[in-house]
A = this chain, B = another copy of it.
């Protein structure tokens, strides 16, 4: 059986209708809504073929048809791209694009907020759920260290990594050095550890460093371990999610069992990581994972649109949009495209 142009058009109608209404689509509905010059009976025959070929599924004998994962896959890979090419790529309104751009420009300097706010913007804009991970560099190095006074029993170590991540670590120490002392110790730390990776820092500190810290051995040990932790934090991605509750608005999750499965998956860090990094990933593009393709079992009633972004060339993070398989793929793809573009623009300046 051949997937001719007419079958493809019918499949497209079924998918777009189903995305819009969440109701199984019947032959008469198509005949009525889209003037194909065909009767419902003819469409019925074609639909029967599409079902045999696995692109659509009948929930039961007297319902209409619903797209299968395979049907969505065809839609995403062929039909959507074709339409996107015709439309010049954008299904977002100017206002929506401005909103996204504003969120990114406002936060591009506050890296810790950027991801949180981006996730929020995505969930507000799409009504789906957004998941974002921090950028992660495979081999992170120390760029700068600074000890600052905090109070009578503690100091702060500020670490800046080569990929520009800034972190604070409070270190408790009885009778810490005064301001000038801390500046001197900071200089020693920078001289010894600047440009070094975690593995180096975890080794026994050099004699020079030990000498500089004489009388403050505890502070040295704590600083070294904090610095190494700041670098290793790469493994321990920070993840942000936003709009989890949006899931509840979709009729496919009226079944509490299903909703709870999704919530479980979204509260477990490992399944979120799998969602962001799982198989079949072309690193420089936008990746669509449909239903059962998802490695996370509990998310097999969902689809994921995801991409990678980079803030500075050295490391990269990931952004994903999660919705029901019946989600608006073109919108989600456009949103991710725009975000990556806007991030790149904002960084260039």
Q: Which residues of A contact B (CB under 8 A)?
A: 109-112, 143-144, 146, 148-151, 154, 156, 158, 160, 164, 166-172, 183, 243-245, 248-249, 254, 256, 259-260, 263-264, 266-267
Kindly list chain B residues whose C-beta atoms are within 8 Å of the C-beta of A170. Answer: 109-111, 164, 166
Interfacial chain B residues near A149, Cβ < 8 Å: 143-144, 160
A169: nearest chain-B partner, CB-CB: B110
Residues of B within 8 A of A151 (CB): 164
Contacting pair A256 B264 (CB below 8 A): no
> Within the assembled complex, what's the spacing in Å between the Cα atoms of A249 and B257?
10
The 8 closest A-B pairs by CB, nearest first: A245-B263, A166-B168, A109-B170, A158-B158, A248-B260, A156-B166, A146-B148, A144-B148
Question: How far apart sit A254 and B257, CA to CA, in the bound complex (Å)?
Answer: 10
Measured between beta carbons, the chain B residues less than 8 angstroms from A164 are: 150-151, 154, 170
Q: Report the copy number of this chain in the oligomer.
A: 2
In the complex, what distance in Å separates the CA atom of A172 from the CA atom of B106?
A: 12
Contacts of A166 in B (CB 8 A): 148, 150, 156, 158, 168, 170
Q: Give the distance in Å from the alpha carbon of A172 to the alpha carbon of B110 in the complex.
A: 10
A31 to chain B, nearest CB (A): 35
A249: contacting residue among B144, B167, B249, B260, CB under 8 A: B260
Give CA–CA (A188, B58) in the complex, Å.
74
Contact: B154 with A156, CB < 8 Å? no
Could you pull out 26 A-B pairs where Cβ atoms are within 8 angstroms?
A109-B170, A109-B172, A110-B169, A111-B170, A112-B168, A144-B148, A144-B150, A146-B146, A146-B148, A148-B158, A148-B166, A149-B160, A154-B164, A164-B170, A166-B170, A243-B267, A244-B244, A244-B263, A245-B260, A245-B263, A245-B266, A248-B256, A248-B259, A248-B260, A249-B260, A254-B256
Of all chain B residues, the one with the shortest Cβ separation from A109 is: B170
Q: How many angstroms between the C-alpha atoms of A254 and B144 in the bound complex?
A: 53
Contacts A110-B169, A248-B256 aside, 7 further interface pairs with beta carbons under 8 A come to: A109-B172, A112-B168, A151-B164, A166-B168, A167-B168, A245-B264, A248-B260
